[in-house]
Amino acid sequence: MEEDRFVYTDERFADIQMLRYRLNGFDELTLRQKIYIYYLSEATLYGRDIVFDQFGKYNLRIRKMLEAVFRAQTFSGSRDESKAFETYLKQIWFSSGIYHHYGYEKILPAFTPEFLEKALSATDVNSLPLAEDQTLQEFCEEIFPVIFDYSLFPKRVNQADGEDLVLTSACNYYENVTQKEVEQYYSEKKKDGAEGMPSWGLNSKLIKQDNVLREVVWKADGLYGAAIRKIISCLEKASDFAENDQQKKLIRLLIDYYETGDLRLFDKFSIEWVHENRGEIDFINGFIEVYGDPLGLKASWEGIVEYRDAIASKRTQAISQNAQWFEDHSPVDARFKKKTVRGVTASAVCAAMLGGDEYPSTAIGINLPNAEWIRAQHGSKSVTITNITDAYAKAAHGNGFYEEFVIDQQTRDMINLYGDQCDQLHTDLHECLGHGSGQLLPDTDPDALKAYGNTIEEARADLFGLYYIADLKLVELGLLPNGDAHHAQYYTYMMNGLMTQLTRIQPGKQIEEAHMRNRALIARWIMHHADGAVSMEKVNDKTYVRISDYRHLRSLVAKLLAEVQRIKSEGDYDAARELVETYGVKVDHTLHQEVLARYEKLHLAPYKGFINPVLTPIYNNVGEITDVKVDYSESYTAQMLRYSKQYATL
């Protein structure tokens, strides 16, 4: 099979291009390891419906309705509307609902209500997700405004300053409650301030009934129970093929947590997970990241199965083995540094299966657990996902992007020479050390920054990576060839934060997503304080970034890192709000229009996602698995329809 088959596909729609990732070295794994990966992958795929429901209360019903129409092929009309129907369904699959996966705004279909109503009328009503005793007409009256009226539930996550972020967000984590009520409820839970306190609210929905607030917990006999029981069943099967007793122990703890919903058990699982580094195979499975909650409390479900990339891990190990050196030499106040860095482990891995909030769009690096007290006492574990970064890199080469947006050939040559290497290294530094660096002051509430917490945390990790990628320590460790290679990372980072990430923003909108706010914050703050060392210039009526003093740029990175760490360590909400709102949110609409016009001419998709490989167990005549085969030929549409049938739980 040709190499390109694993990267490029003909699957492209809206603002998205689908890629493939290859399971490098999978055939060299033992049979036991392959079976372990297979059952962990099944546990990963069974969480899919949970995320759809978390991202909006109507998402599952809308998806099931559209899939019923698509399977029956009852949509007819103009060619443009039929194509728009397919595109809308693909977007919903990609975003796990009707809200854009990155911008959080509602995706409006390019077909009419009349078109959809006609298609539904020709579809077997028994295949549609009608409520009990509901007629098709009543169903349409309920669902159509959610789909077609942008003013109704317009954003999955609203971060607009001054608004009630709970009432104005369509995510399905709260019901009949206000932001003030949520904050007061969890403030009461954290009143004792005990060390080792769980991440309250992480695995529950907060609702108000009869004027009483209560949590509905996501567990085996609670909300999402049907999906969680399937996940548990697959984890139990995986445990029989674990590589060591520690893996079996942590799987047992995860199952106990899923069965009880007890967050203290999740913390115990997380600690054991940090300490499991002997096996070649690892996984993430659970309610983990809180970016989908405007208050940063409740976690979306995600799953990843991975196995070690031995060659690339030498790079991450070199970084993690020197974690104390990096912490000691950080430019932040000594009060905010860890005197002893514990348990920082890092490795490069190949993804074997993506699921939940990590599919089809996924992270390129991960650092967990998120609980600050576990990081402080037990350390953290970081991964860089090499087969994902490799797929991104291959898709980007030769696409004309740098020719259009980089200021001159000399800078382009530098980026072509060092860019991929620096991108990987910055991800390593961000995940392996950045998130695990620093410490909160003893009395600081980990949630003190509220809606700005995610942006500040991502800025802190990015700044840590930017500061150290310019350090000669990396040349000494053999991770960069010379002291100027980091210029490639500095240029592309500034270009992205100041300009090119605007390709992901709709005209007239502001920046909402935490990672985008972080990059804009850093780039704009630096340019504002750069005294000309970083500027934006017009060349032949096109705007470019120019960097004339990379050394001065690094000194500004150090200054901003020190301030962001102070904000985090002290829980300075007002300073966080000022920094984010001043530099991370607003969009220059004139520049935005220019960037969009230039980008459109390249015919590129600003977002990429991944089609999972298909893992198929091969059985002998007595029902034993004798091999696990990998197939990369499944199309995006076929995969999504199969997942909706095979892994349907809710």
The pLDDT tens digits for 275-326 are: 999 999 999 999 999 999 999 999 999 999 999 998 889 999 999 999 999 9
- Each residue's pLDDT tens digit, 111-159: 999 999 999 999 999 999 999 999 999 999 999 999 999 999 999 999 9
Asked if residue 298 is part of any domain, the answer here is no
Average pLDDT rounded to a whole number, residues 570-577: 98
Determine the Cα angle at 76 with ends 74 and 77, to 5°.
165
Whether the predicted pLDDT of 352 surpasses 80: yes
Q: What is the pLDDT of residues 478-511, one digit of tens each?
A: 999 999 999 999 999 999 999 999 999 999 999 9
Query: Is 246 domain-assigned?
Result: no
Is the per-residue pLDDT at 642 higher than 80? yes
Q: How would residue 1 be classed by pLDDT, with cut points 50, 70 and 90?
A: very low
Which whole number is the average pLDDT over 541-563? 98
- Joined together, the tokens standing for residue 469 give 């990628």
Kindly tell me if the per-residue pLDDT of 6 is higher than 50: no
Least trusted range by pLDDT, from 379-383, 535-539, 595-599: 379-383
Going by C-alpha positions, the residue among 356, 448, 178 that lies closest to residue 169 is 178
Q: For residue 519, what are the domain limits?
A: 309-607
Other Cβ atoms within 10 Å of 435 Cβ, number: 21
- In the chain, the amino acid numbered 365 is G
Q: Is 118 inside a domain boundary?
A: no
Q: Which two tokens stand for residue 21?
A: 């990732």
Q: What is the pLDDT of residue 5?
A: 44
- Convert the pLDDT of each residue in 44-98 to its tens digit: 999 999 999 999 999 999 999 999 999 999 988 788 999 999 999 999 999 999 9
User: How many CA atoms, within 13 angstroms, populate the side-chain half-sphere of residue 268?
Assistant: 16
Q: Please determine, for residue 471, whether its predicted confidence score (pLDDT) is greater than 90.
A: yes
Residue 252 within a domain: no
pLDDT of residue 9: 58
Share of the chain above pLDDT 70, in %: 98
Q: Estimate to the nearest angstrom the gap between the alpha carbon of 626 and the chain centroid.
A: 35
Q: What is the share, in percent, of the chain residues with pLDDT greater than 90?
A: 93
Using alpha carbons, select from 31, 11, 33, 29 the residue that is nearest to residue 20: 11
For 189-203, 204-218, 231-245, which range has the lowest pLDDT when averaged over its residues? 189-203
- pLDDT at res. 238: 98
In the block, which residue shows the tokens 């942008």?
150
Question: Read out DSSP for 388-420?
Answer: HHHHHHHHHTTSSHHHHHSS-HHHHHHHHHHHH
Tokens of 535: 């500027």
3-state secondary structure at position 301: strand
Residue 30 lies in a domain: no
615 in any annotated domain: no
The pLDDT score that the predictor gives to residue 10 is: 60
Q: For residues 372 and 568, what is the distance between their CA atoms, to the nearest angstrom? A: 11
3-state DSSP assignment of residue 221: coil
Say if CB 494 and CB 519 are below 8 A apart. Answer: no
Domains identified in the chain, total number: 1
Whole-number average pLDDT of the chain: 95
Instruction: Tell me if 160 is assigned to some domain.
Output: no
Name the band, by pLDDT with cuts 50, 70 and 90, for residue 196.
confident
Residue 368 has pLDDT above 70, yes or no: yes
Burial class (CB in 10 A: 0-12, 13-18, 19+), 130: middle
Q: Does 368 reside within a domain?
A: yes
pLDDT the model gives residue 95: 98
